[in-house]
C-alpha cells in the first residue's frame, strides 16, 4: 500500500516515542547499564563464553615462541620498549620501556600496520595513503627509513613469513593480497580477494594465511605453497545461517556464497529466533596454539525475527521489545592441513562483551590470547585458548583520566609477558602486567601522550563518540555504536529494517559535504539534524546539538575513499563522455563536484521520493540503491534494481555499459 510521506513521518514519530520511552524506562530500572549487569536480552554480558564446544586440544601446545611478525598491528614489542604507528599524527614512534619517545619518523597520516623483523633489526610500516610499505632500520635505538616497497592502491594489513623472506600485504581499494620478496622488494604473486579486505595473518609453520574482511562475512584462506607459485584461495563463511551442522561440528561451505555477491543478495536461511545475521567488521586474525586460529568480529542482525516484518519499527533492526541488533564474537577456526579437503574448516563461536573487538595478541608461553575492545576500551585475557579447557581470565579497562583509549593495537612483550596496548584516541601506550595464570587483574600503567593529534578538539570528541560502544546516550543499552555499521566511516553493506522500510547503510566518508538533504528519503535538511535523529532511532537517550557538531566535524573531515587502480584509461574517458551525454541523461541529476542535484525524485516503489545520492566512492559501496536492490554497478545499469527509469540506459550496448562502470568506479 503506497503511503504518503506525511503518513510515514507521523508513523515513525509515534513509534519512535514508544521505542524511546521503553528504552528509557528500562534503563532506569537497571542500575549500571554500562556494565550490562541487568539481564538485558540479547546483549552479551559476559567477557568471554564459548557458544559451541571448544575446538582445541586436551593438552597445552608445544611452547614454541612464534614470532609476533606473523600478523601486523599498530604496536610491536621491542627488547627495549615498543614501536608504534599513530595514524592520527602520522608518526612512527619508538618508545622505551617507560613509554618515553626515544626516536620518531614522519610516515604520514593513515599509516595502518607494522611488523618488526627482529632478525634483521628492521620494521615494515604500511603507508596506506601513499601506496607503499616503508622499510625502516631499527639499528642503534633509532628509526631510519631505508627503502620503500610500492604496492597497489591502499595497502592496509601486513604479515611477515616465519623465514622472513616474504611480506604479505592486503590492499583495500584494489581488493588484493600481494606477496613481496623482502630481499628484492619485487612482487611474487597477487590475488583478487573481493571487497574490503583488512588484516592478514600467517600460520606459524608458514603454510597458510588468513585474511579478514569488513563486509563479506568470510575469512579468506590462502594455502601458500612454495616459491612464486600462485597460492590456492578459498573462503570460510562465518555467517551463522550458512553453516550447516554436520555430526555435531559446524562445517562451512563458501562455495554457495561467492564473495563477489553482495550480502543482501545471498540466500541466507532464516533463523526464527535470531533473524538474519551477518558477520561484519573483522579486522584481525591470529593463530594461537594447536593449529587453531581466532577471528574477532561483529554479528549484525538487521532484520530481527521478533515482530511482524510489516510492522513499522522505530529502531534499527528493531522488532518487539529489545533484542540487540549488534553482538560481538570470536570465531575459532580449525583449518585442515594444507592440501587436504580445503572445504572442511571447522568453526566454533564464542560470545564476548568486548565492543568492536579488533586488535589481538597471543602469548605462546602461557597459551593466552589477549583481545581489545575498540569501542569499550578494555582488554580481555582468554586462558588456555587453544585447549578444550579454554576459559576467561581477566577483563581490564584501559581508559586514562580522559575516559577513553580506543585500543587499535596489542602486543605481548615476550621478555616480561606484559601486554602492550596502543590507545589510538589518547596516543598512549598502556602496559598491563598480570600473572601467568591470568587469575588476578593486571597492574595498569599509562605512558605520556606520544604525539600531538592532527585533529581539532571537536574532531577528536566526534571521533571518540563515533566508535563509543556501551553508551546508552547513543543507542539502546549501548548495544550499537556508529562505527558498528559505519566502520571507518564506511558502510556495512547491509540493509536495515527501520521505520517500515528496508534501508541500506550509506557510505559516509567523502560524501557528507554539499550533499544535503540527508537520509535516503531526504527527510533531514542538514547533517546536524540527521545525526540527532539517527541517535533517536538507535534508541539512545540523545545527544546535544554541540555533540552533533563534534560528530559532524569528525565525519566531514574523513578523507574520500580511495578508488581502484584504473586498468583501461580510454574506457574511463569514453565512460565519462557517456555519463555527461544526452544519451544517458545522468548529469540531469548527478551533476556538480558531489554528483548530486540534492533533490528528491519519485523513482522508488516503496519510498515516496528518494534523495539523489552522491556517487563518491561507488567502487567500495556495493550494494546500491536505498534498498540495496542492485548488487553491482553492472546490474544497476542493466536491470535497474527496484528503481524505475533512472537515466536512459536501456539502449546502451554491452561495451558502453562497461565503459560507464569503468568511469563510475573512478568517482
Ligand atoms: C544499525 C546500523 C547503523 C548505526 C548503528 C548507525 N547508522 Fe547511520 N545509517 C544507517 C542506515 C541504514 C542509514 C540510512 C537511513 C535512512 O536513510 O533513513 C544511515 C544513515 C546515516 C546518515 C545519512 C547519510 C546520508 O548520506 O544521507 C548519517 C550521516 C549517519 N547514518 C551517521 C551515523 C552516525 C553518526 C551514527 C552514530 C550516532 C550512525 N549513523 C549509526 C545505519 C546505521
Ligand atoms: C531523475 C534523476 C536521476 C537521473 C537522470 C539519474 N539518477 Fe542515478 N540516482 C538518482 C536517485 C534518486 C538515486 C537513488 C535511487 C534509490 O536509491 O532509490 C540514484 C542512484 C544512483 C546510483 C546508486 C548510488 C548508491 O550509492 O546506491 C548510481 C550508481 C547512479 N544513480 C548512477 C546513475 C547513472 C550512471 C545515471 C545515468 C545513466 C543516473 N544515475 C541517472 C537520480 C537520478
Dump pLDDT digits (tens) for 360-393.
999 999 999 999 999 999 999 999 999 999 999 9
The count of other CB atoms within 10 Å of the CB of residue 285 is: 28
How far, in Å, CA of 286 to CA of 305, rounded?
A: 33
Distance (Å, whole) CA 288 – CA 294: 7
Residue-level pLDDT at 310 = 33
**Do 218 and 197 form a contact (C-beta atoms < 8 A)?**
no
Q: CA torsion sign, 457 to 480 to 284 to 390? A: positive
Q: Measure Cα distances from 612 to 459, 520, 546, 578, 648 in Å.
A: 27, 8, 28, 19, 16
What is the Å distance from ligand 2's center to 646 Cα? 6
- Of residues 177 and 306, the one with the higher pLDDT is 177
Residues contacting 158, CB < 8 A, separation 6+: 72, 113, 114, 115, 124, 126, 133, 167, 168, 169, 170, 200
Q: Ligand 2 pocket test: pick from 589, 617, 639, 643 the residue with the most ligand atoms within 8 Å of its Cβ.
A: 589
Question: How far, in Å, is the centroid of ligand 2 from the Cα of 267?
Answer: 26
Q: Mean of the per-residue pLDDT values for the chain? A: 84
Atom of ligand 2 nearest to the CA of 604: 18
Ligand (nearest to CA of 526):
1
CA distance 279 to 297: 7
Q: Residue 316: what pLDDT?
A: 60
The mean per-residue pLDDT over the stretch 573-584 comes to 95
CA 581 – CA 660 distance, rounded (Å): 11
In the predicted structure, residue 399 carries a pLDDT above the cut 80: yes
Return the pLDDT at 635: 86
- For residue 589, the CA-to-ligand 2 centroid distance in Å is 8
Query: Which ligand number lies closest to the CA of residue 528?
Result: 1
Ligand that lies nearest to the alpha carbon of residue 588, given by its number in the listed order: 2
Shortest-distance atom of ligand 2 to CA 621: 26
Cβ 8 under 6 angstroms from ligand 1: no
CB neighbours of residue 200 within 10 Å: 27
Q: Rounded to whole angstroms, how far apart are CA atoms 103 and 95?
A: 7
| Ligand 1 pocket check for 483: Cβ under 6 Å | no
User: Is 50 exceeded by the pLDDT of residue 270?
Assistant: no
Give the residue whose CA is nearest to atom 13 of ligand 1: 505
> Model confidence at 337, in pLDDT bands (50, 70, 90)?
confident
Å from CA of 611 to ligand 2 middle: 9
* Structure confidence at residue 247 (pLDDT): 30
* Distance (Å, whole) CA 258 – CA 636: 19
At residue 339, the pLDDT reads: 63
d(C-alpha 635, C-alpha 265), whole Å: 12
- Range of lowest pLDDT (70-79, 137-146, 505-514, 624-633): 624-633
From 205-214, 227-236, 375-384, 619-628, the region with the lowest mean pLDDT:
227-236
Measured CA angle at 647 (ends 644, 650), to 5 deg? 75
Q: Which of 646, 657, 658, 664 has the most ligand 2 atoms within 8 A of CB, as the residue to mutate?
A: 646
Nearest CA to ligand 1 atom 33: 482
pLDDT of residue 559: 93
Among the ranges given (298-307, 411-420, 518-527), the one the predictor scored with the smallest mean pLDDT: 298-307
**Separation between Cα atoms, residue 41 and residue 573, nearest integer Å:** 54
- Does pLDDT of 256 surpass 50? no
Q: Whose CA is nearest to atom 11 of ligand 2?
A: 612
Question: So what's the pLDDT on residue 466?
Answer: 98
Residue 315 pLDDT class (50, 70, 90 cuts): low
Measured CA to CA, the distance from residue 564 to residue 5 in angstroms comes to 38
- pLDDT for the residue numbered 500: 75
Predicted pLDDT of residue 607: 84
Chain CA centroid to CA 114, Å: 18
Q: What are phi and psi of 81, to 5 degrees?
A: 155, -130
pLDDT digit string, tens, across residues 93-128: 999 999 999 999 999 899 999 999 999 999 999 999
CB of 316 within 6 A of ligand 1: the answer is yes
Binning pLDDT at 50, 70 and 90, where does residue 413 land?
Answer: very high
First to last CA, the chain: 37
Q: Which of 40-49, 256-265, 558-567, 607-616 has the highest mean pLDDT?
A: 558-567
The CA distance from 372 to 354, in Å, is: 7
Does position 268 have pLDDT exceeding 60, yes or no?
no
Mutation probe of ligand 1 site: the residue of 465, 486, 495, 498 with most atoms within 8 A of C-beta: 486
Contact 443, 433 (CB under 8 A): yes
Question: Among 303, 263, 252, which Cα is nearest to 492's?
Answer: 263
Please indicate whether residue 15 or residue 599 has the higher confidence score (pLDDT). 599
CA of 281 to the centre of ligand 2 (A): 28
pLDDT at 317 over 70: no
Residues 524 and 517: beta-carbon distance below 8 Å = yes
Taking the CA of residue 515 as reference, the ligand 1 atom at the shortest distance is: 26
**Residue 124 CB neighbours (<10 A):** 24
Residue 127 has phi, psi (to 5 degrees) of -100, 90
Among the residue ranges 40-44, 214-218, 345-349, 455-459, the one predicted with the least confidence is: 40-44
Res. 613: pLDDT tops 70: yes
Q: Among 139-143, 146-150, 340-344, 583-587, which stretch is predicted with the lowest mean pLDDT?
A: 340-344
Amino acid at each position: 500500500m503506497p503511503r504518503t510521506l506525511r503518513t510515514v513521518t507521523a508513523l515513525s514519530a509515534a513509534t519512535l516515542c514508544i521505542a524511546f520511552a521503553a528504552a528509557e524506562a528500562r534503563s532506569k530500572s537497571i542500575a549500571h547499564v554500562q556494565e550490562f549487569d541487568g539481564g538485558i536480552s540479547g546483549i552479551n554480558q559476559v567477557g568471554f563464553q564459548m557458544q559451541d564446544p571448544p575446538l582445541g586440544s586436551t593438552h597445552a601446545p608445544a611452547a614454541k615462541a612464534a614470532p609476533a611478525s606473523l600478523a601486523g598491528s599498530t604496536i610491536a614489542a621491542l627488547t627495549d620498549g615498543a614501536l608504534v604507528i599513530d595514524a592520527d599524527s602520522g608518526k612512527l614512534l619508538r618508545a622505551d620501556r617507560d613509554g618515553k619517545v626515544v626516536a620518531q619518523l614522519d610516515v604520514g597520516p593513515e599509516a595502518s600496520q607494522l611488523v618488526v623483523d627482529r632478525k634483521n633489526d628492521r620494521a615494515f610500516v604500511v603507508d596506506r595513503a601513499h601506496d607503499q610499505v616503508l622499510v625502516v632500520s631499527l639499528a642503534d635505538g633509532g628509526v631510519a627509513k631505508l627503502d620503500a616497497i610500492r604496492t597497489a592502491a591502499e595497502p592496509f594489513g601486513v604479515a611477515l613469513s616465519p623465514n622472513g623472506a616474504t611480506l604479505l600485504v592486503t590492499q583495500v581499494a584494489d581488493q588484493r593480497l600481494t606477496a613481496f620478496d623482502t630481499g628484492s622488494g619485487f612482487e611474487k604473486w597477487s590475488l583478487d580477494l573481493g571487497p574490503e579486505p583488512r588484516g592478514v595473518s600467517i600460520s606459524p609453520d608458514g603454510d597458510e594465511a588468513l585474511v579478514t574482511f569488513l563486509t563479506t562475512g568470510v575469512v579468506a584462506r590462502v594455502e601458500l605453497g612454495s616459491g612464486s607459485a600462485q597460492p590456492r584461495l578459498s573462503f570460510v563463511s562465518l555467517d551463522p545461517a550458512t553453516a550447516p551442522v554436520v555430526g555435531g561440528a559446524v562445517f562451512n561451505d563458501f562455495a554457495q556464497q561467492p564473495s563477489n555477491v553482495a550480502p543482501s543478495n545471498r540466500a541466507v536461511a532464516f533463523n526464527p529466533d535470531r533473524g538474519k545475521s551477518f558477520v561484519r567488521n573483522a579486522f584481525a586474525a591470529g593463530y594461537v596454539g594447536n593449529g587453531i586460529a581466532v577471528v574477532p568480529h561483529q554479528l549484525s542482525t538487521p532484520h530481527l525475527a521478533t515482530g511482524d516484518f510489516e510492522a513499522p519499527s522505530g529502531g534499527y533492526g528493531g522488532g518487539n521489545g529489545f533484542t540487540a541488533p549488534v553482538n560481538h564474537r570470536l570465531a575459532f577456526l580449525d583449518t585442515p592441513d594444507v592440501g587436504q579437503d580445503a572445504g572442511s574448516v571447522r568453526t566454533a563461536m564464542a560470545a564476548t562483551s568486548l565492543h568492536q573487538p579488533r586488535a589481538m595478541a597471543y602469548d605462546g608461553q602461557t597459551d593466552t590470547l589477549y583481545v581489545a575492545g575498540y569501542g569499550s576500551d578494555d582488554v580481555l585475557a582468554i586462558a588456555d585458548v587453544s585447549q578444550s579447557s579454554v576459559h576467561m581470565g581477566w577483563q581490564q579497562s584501559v581508559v586514562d583520566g580522559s575516559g577513553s583509549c580506543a585500543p587499535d593495537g596489542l602486543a605481548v612483550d615476550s621478555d616480561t609477558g606484559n601486554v602492550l596496548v596502543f590507545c589510538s584516541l589518547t596516543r598512549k601506550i598502556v602496559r598491563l602486567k598480570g600473572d601467568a595464570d591470568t587469575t588476578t587483574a593486571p597492574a595498569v600503567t599509562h605512558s605520556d601522550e606520544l604525539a600531538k593529534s592532527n585533529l581539532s578538539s571537536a574532531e577528536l570528541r566526534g571521533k571518540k563518540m563515533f566508535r563509543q560502544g556501551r553508551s546508552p546516550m547513543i543507542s539502546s543499552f549501548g548495544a550499537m555504536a556508529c562505527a558498528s555499521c559505519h566502520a571507518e566511516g564506511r558502510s556495512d553493506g547491509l540493509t536495515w529494517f527501520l521505520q517500515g522500510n528496508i534501508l541500506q547503510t550509506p557510505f559516509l566518508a567523502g560524501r557528507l559535504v554539499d550533499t544535503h538533504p540527508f537520509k535516503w528519503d531526504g527527510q533531514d535538511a542538514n547533517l546536524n539534524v540527521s545525526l540527532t535523529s539517527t541517535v533517536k532511532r538507535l534508541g539512545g537517550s540523545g545527544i546535544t546539538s554541540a555533540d552533533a557538531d563534534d560528530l559532524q566535524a569528525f565525519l566531514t573531515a574523513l578523507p574520500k575513499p580511495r578508488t581502484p587502480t584504473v586498468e583501461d584509461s580510454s574506457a574511463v574517458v569514453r565512460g565519462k563522455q557517456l555519463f555527461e551525454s544526452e544519451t544517458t541523461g545522468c548529469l540531469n541529476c548527478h551533476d556538480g563536484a558531489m554528483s548530486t542535484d540534492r533533490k528528491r525524485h519519485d523513482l522508488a516503489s516503496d519510498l515516496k521520493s528518494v534523495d539523489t545520492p552522491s556517487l563518491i566512492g561507488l567502487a567500495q559501496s556495493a550494494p546500491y540503491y536505498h534498498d540495496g536492490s542492485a548488487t553491482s554497478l553492472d546490474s544497476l545499469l542493466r536491470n535497474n534494481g527496484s528503481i524505475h527509469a533512472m537515466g536512459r540506459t536501456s539502449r546502451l550496448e554491452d561495451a558502453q555499459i562497461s565503459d560507464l562502470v569503468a568511469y563510475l568506479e573512478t568517482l
